[in-house]
Amino acid sequence: MKSTRTSFYRILSALTLLALLVTACTNGGSTATAAPEPTVTSLPTAVVELTSVPDVEASVQSFLDRWQAQDYAGMYEMLSSLSRDAVSLEDFSGRYTNVALALVVTDLTSEILSVMTSTRTAQAAYRVTFTSSLIEQYTTSEMLMDLTLENGEWKVEWHDGLIMPQLRGGNVLRADISVPARGGIYDVNGNAFAAQTEAYAIGVEPGKIEKESTLLAELSRLLEMPTADIQAKYEYARGTNWYVALGDAPADAVEARLNVISGVGGVWLNNYDTRYYYAGESAAQVVGYVLAIPAEQLASYQAQGYVGNEQIGVSGIEKGAEEALRGVRGADVYVVSPEGQVLDRLGHTDARPSLSVVSTLDFDFQEQVERALSGKTGAIVVMERDTGRVLAMASNPSFNPNLFDPDNFNRNYLLEAMLNNTNQPGINRASQSSYPLGSVFKIITMAAALETGLYTADTRYMCGHTFTELEGQVFYDWTYEKEVAASGELTLQQGLMRSCNPYFYHIGLDLYRQNFPNAISEMAVGFGLGSPTGIGVLDESAGNVPSPTGEGDAVQLAIGQGTLLVTPLQVATFIAALGNGGTLYTPQLVDHYLDANGNIIDPFIPQTHGSLPISEENRQIIIEAMRWVTSEQRGTAYSTFYNLYYPVYGKTGTAQTSLEAPHSWFAGFTDANEPGKPDIAVVVFTEFAGEGSEVSAPIFRRVVELYFEGKAIRQYPWESRLWVTQTPTLFDAEYTQTAVQRATEESQRATEEAEQTQQAEGDGGG
C-alpha cells in the first residue's frame, strides 16, 4: 500500500525549499547593495530535482521480490554502502538461507503497509508471510525498513531484524524435526515386499563345511535358492577358507533354524537392521529400493523438509510413492541466541505417520511369473482385462535390492558385479524399455484398414512368399523363411490369423497411396502408443509412433517395424481394451494405502483414459481373428494352445532386429469367465529370442496356467520336464543349474538326510 503521506511530504519539502530560496534572496546582509532578485527559472529547477527522486515503494517491493525469488545476491546489491561494509555477501545470504531451511519455506509473500519519504531518507513498514512445509504458515509482526539515497538510488540500511524481528542481534532459527518410520510395501494379501526388520547376510567358508547336505537343505530353504545353485556358487572355492557371499534372509527365519545351521560348519551369519526386500529379485524393478540422499541433492531434499539422514526411494514404487511412504515430519521451530539459548518457539507441528502401500501384485503369483521368464531376457505384464489392475510384472534379468544397504556384509562382494552387469538388470523392461512390436502391430493395421472403409473382414488377398508391389524391392513372408507352403488366398481375418506379411505390406502401401498416409499412425496413437500409460508409480518410456514419409516407411510400419517403438505395458493396455469392449484402462499398481490405524486410504478404482477408436463391429472382427490365431489349425499359435481349457485371444509377434535373432512377442487376453478369477490380458516379450510362436507363446500359456490352475501344467518345448531346460545354451546354462523342480527334489532329499542326522545325533511364425 502506497502511503498518502508520501505526496504530502514531497509537497512540504518543495515548499520548504522555496521558502529558503526566498529568504536567501531577501536577506541581503548589511551591505549597501541588495542581493539580486531570483530568476523565474530557479524554482522550477528545484522542483524538477525533487520529483526525479526514485519511487521508494517500488524499491522496497523490488527488495522483497528478490527475497521471494531467493536472489540474495540481488538483495545484497540493494544494501547501502555502510551495510555492505558491515556484512559480507556470504553472511548475508547465510542468514536468509538459515530461515528458508529451518522453516522449509515453500513460498514467501510480503505486504508493504506504509512508506514515508524525506529528501534523502525513507522508511517503509512491511510484514512477511512464510509458507512452510513444517509449520504451515508464519506471518511476522510489522517491521520497519530504513532506506537512504545513494547515487540516485534508494539503498537499504540492513540489519538482521529485517528478516524477522526476533532475529535481530544475531539470533537464528533452529528446527527440531521428528521423522516418521517409512511405510511398508505389501502385496494385495498383506505379504511384505519391503519393510524394516533385522536380517542376516549369509555366506560360507567352504573349507570349514562339515555337513554339506544339511547345509544345502537349510540354506536352500532360507535363500529360496535351489541347492544346485548354492553349491555352484562356492564350488570354485571348495576346500579353501575364502568367504563366499550367498544371499540374505530375514532374521526371524534364520533364528528359527539357528540351532541346526550352527552345527553344519562353515556358515557365516552377519546381522544388520535394514529395509528388507522379502522377494529379493522378484518384483525388484517394480518395488524398487532406497538409498541415502546423495550429497549433491541434499540441499534440494532439505528444502522439502528432509533432515538429510533419511533414505529415499530411487526406483519403482519406493520412488513413485515416496510422499506417502515418508509420512509428514513433525517439527518445533525455535529462535536461538548466538550462545545457543532458546529464546522463543516460533511454531509446532505434530508428525503424521507414513502410509503403507498395498500393491495390486500377488506375492506368490509374481514369483511364479518371474520364474516363467527364467533363462530369457525380457518382460511379462499380467493385467486384469476389465479394470487395469496389474497382477504381475516381471523383468529379467533382475537384481537383489538388499545389496544397496551399506550395512549388508555381502554388498562388498556382490554389488559391483550387479552394477556392472551389461544386461542392465535395474531397467524395468516392461515399462522403461521400448522395442519394435513386429506382427502384434498387425492388429492396429487391421483396425486402420477396417475404419477407412477400404477393407472389410472378407477382403481377399493372395498371400505368397514374397511382396513385390514396391518397385525394385522384394520383401518376404515368414513361410518363405520357414520353407513351408505359402498361405494362399486369405480374407483379412485369415491374414491376421496367418500373420501374412505380404497382406499387411499391401495394406500399408494401399492406404498410403489412397490418401490415408497417416491412418495407421493415428490408429496407433488412438490405441495408446506413443505416450506413457499413466501408471504413475513407475518410470515409463513413451515409445515412438512415426508418421510415414514415403511408401517404404508405410510398408514397414504396417508390420510393426521401422522406427516404431512400444513398451510391453502399452501393449497390455490396448490388448486388454480389445477384450473388454474397447475401454483403455489406466494400469494401476496400487490397490490402496493403509494408515497407522489400518484404515484404507484411496482404494482402487478403475481409471480410464479413453476408448479404442474403432466401431464395435470392427472390434468383433479383430478379436474373432485373434481367437483363430490360437484355436484354428492354421493359426500361428495353434499348437501352443491346443488342449488349453481357457479360451485365449492372441497374436504372435516376431520383430526383426539388427542382430540375427529377432525379438519375440505374444500378446493376448483370456475369456474364461471363471468365478473369482477375473479374465486377464498378458503380454510376453523376450529379447533376441526367436519366433513369437516358438518362444513367447509357450511362456504366455505358462502364465495362464499359473493364474487359473496355480501351477505349471504343460512344459516348454525347451524343457526336458517342467522347469528343467532340455538343451542348455550359453545363455541358458546358468538357468539349467537353477531348474526349480530338480532343485526342489534335491532340497527335499537333503532335508530328509538332515533330519535323519539330527535324530541320530539328537508353431508357426509371425
pLDDT category at 660 given cuts 50, 70, 90 is: confident
Q: Is 623 or 18 the better-scoring residue by pLDDT?
A: 623
Q: What per-residue confidence (pLDDT) applies to 567?
A: 98
pLDDT category at 724 given cuts 50, 70, 90 is: confident
Nearest to residue 284, comparing CAs of 70, 122, 430?
430
pLDDT category at 277 given cuts 50, 70, 90 is: very high
Q: What per-residue confidence (pLDDT) applies to 722?
A: 87
- How far is the C-alpha of 343 from the C-alpha of 337, rounded, in Å? 7
- How far is the C-alpha of 558 from the C-alpha of 689, rounded, in Å? 22
Q: What per-residue confidence (pLDDT) applies to 550?
A: 96
Q: What is the pLDDT of residues 70-85, one digit of tens each?
A: 999 999 999 999 999 9
Q: What per-residue confidence (pLDDT) applies to 329?
A: 87
The 3-state DSSP class for residue 635 equals coil
Domain 53-165 grouped into CATH 3.30.379.10 = no
CB 584, CB 609: distance < 8 Å: yes
Residue 2 confidence (pLDDT) above 90 = no
Q: Is 330 or 650 the better-scoring residue by pLDDT?
A: 650
Q: What per-residue confidence (pLDDT) applies to 441?
A: 98
Task: Compute the mean pLDDT over every residue in the chain, rounded to the nearest whole number.
Answer: 89
Mean pLDDT of 246-264: 95
Mean pLDDT of 134-151: 93
**Long-range pairs, 747-754, Cβ under 8 A, ≥24:** 747/216, 747/217, 747/220, 747/221, 747/226, 747/227, 750/213, 750/214, 750/216, 750/217, 750/220, 750/227, 751/217, 751/221, 753/213, 753/214, 753/217, 754/211, 754/213, 754/214, 754/217, 754/218, 754/260
Mean pLDDT of 530-552: 97
Q: Is 712 or 758 the better-scoring residue by pLDDT?
A: 712
Q: What per-residue confidence (pLDDT) applies to 553?
A: 96
Q: What per-residue confidence (pLDDT) applies to 304?
A: 82
The 3-state DSSP class for residue 561 equals coil
Nearest to residue 161, comparing CAs of 117, 127, 110, 114?
127
At the top level of CATH, which class does the domain 438-714 belong to?
alpha beta
Residue 135 confidence (pLDDT) above 90 = no
Q: What is the pLDDT of residues 393-440, one digit of tens each?
A: 999 999 999 999 999 999 999 999 999 999 999 999 999 999 999 999
* Half-sphere exposure at residue 316, Cβ-oriented, CA atoms within 13 angstroms: 27
- How far is the C-alpha of 59 from the C-alpha of 463, rounded, in Å? 80
Rounded percentage of the chain residues whose pLDDT exceeds 90: 79
Q: Considering only 23-32, 92-101, 584-593, which range has the smallest mean pLDDT? A: 23-32
- How far is the C-alpha of 645 from the C-alpha of 638, rounded, in Å? 13
Q: What per-residue confidence (pLDDT) applies to 26?
A: 41
Residue 28 confidence (pLDDT) above 80 = no
The 3-class secondary structure across 378-396, one letter per residue, is EEEEEEECCCCEEEEEEEE
Residue 41 confidence (pLDDT) above 60 = no
Mean pLDDT of 553-572: 97
Domain limits of the chain? 53-165, 438-714
Rounded percentage of the chain residues whose pLDDT exceeds 70: 88
Longest CA span, the chain:
139
Q: Considering only 22-36, 90-104, 455-469, which range has the smallest mean pLDDT? A: 22-36
- How far is the C-alpha of 530 from the C-alpha of 543, rounded, in Å? 5
pTM of the model: 0.82
Residue 279 confidence (pLDDT) above 50 = yes
Mean pLDDT of 537-541: 97
Q: What is the pLDDT of residues 427-468, one digit of tens each?
A: 999 999 999 999 999 999 999 999 999 999 999 999 999 999
Q: Is 713 or 13 the better-scoring residue by pLDDT?
A: 713
Mean pLDDT of 683-693: 94
pLDDT category at 47 given cuts 50, 70, 90 is: very low
Q: What per-residue confidence (pLDDT) applies to 537?
A: 96
Q: What is the pLDDT of residues 173-210, one digit of tens each?
A: 998 988 899 999 999 999 999 999 999 999 999 999 99
Mean pLDDT of 271-294: 96
pLDDT category at 602 given cuts 50, 70, 90 is: very high
- How far is the C-alpha of 30 from the C-alpha of 157, rounded, in Å? 45
Q: What per-residue confidence (pLDDT) applies to 303?
A: 79
> Which segments within 571-697 are labelled E, that is strand?
583-585, 590-594, 600-601, 608-611, 648-655, 663-670, 680-686
Q: What per-residue confidence (pLDDT) applies to 763?
A: 62
CB 96, CB 72: distance < 8 Å: yes
Q: Is the peptide bond before 546 cis (omega within 30 degrees of 0)?
A: no
- How far is the C-alpha of 730 from the C-alpha of 718, rounded, in Å? 14
Q: What per-residue confidence (pLDDT) applies to 757?
A: 37
